[in-house]
Amino acid sequence: MLAEHVAEVNRSLAQEKAMTGAQIRRFLVLPKELDADDGELTRTMKVRRGLIGERYASLVKALYDGSKEASISIEMTFEDGRKGAISAKVAIRDMPSEAHAAALGKAHESPRIG
């Protein structure tokens, strides 16, 4: 489902020449929601980017090094104050470039006879 939405966004971006380079090439789904109790969000739900960059560094690295999956272990705080940890292998999805797909589609079109 997420891949379909990413593909839709990429198609939209490919229609604007200046935005073609902004297409999503790879993505992953975090093993848990970002949470204010874990310090990942402010109480007003703004992302604490510095902390996220540190905590999820192995996933960010894997997105850029071509890995197909990445492992992570994250400490978390439950609503009652107890601490725990979650460990997961996260799959990384590659998305085709819509500009490339559009070019391939045009190359395979049959010529029109008027």
Tens of pLDDT along the chain (114 residues) come to 999 999 999 999 999 989 989 999 999 999 999 999 899 999 899 999 999 999 999 999 999 999 999 999 999 988 898 999 999 999 999 998 775 555 444 444 444 444
| Of 55, 54, 64, the residue nearest 28 (C-alpha) | 64
Global confidence as pTM: 0.76
5-26: per-residue pLDDT in tens? 999 999 999 999 899 899 999 9
Q: Residue 84 pairs with which residues in a beta bridge?
A: 76
Q: Angle between the 2-14 and 98-107 helix axes, to the nearest 10 degrees?
A: 70
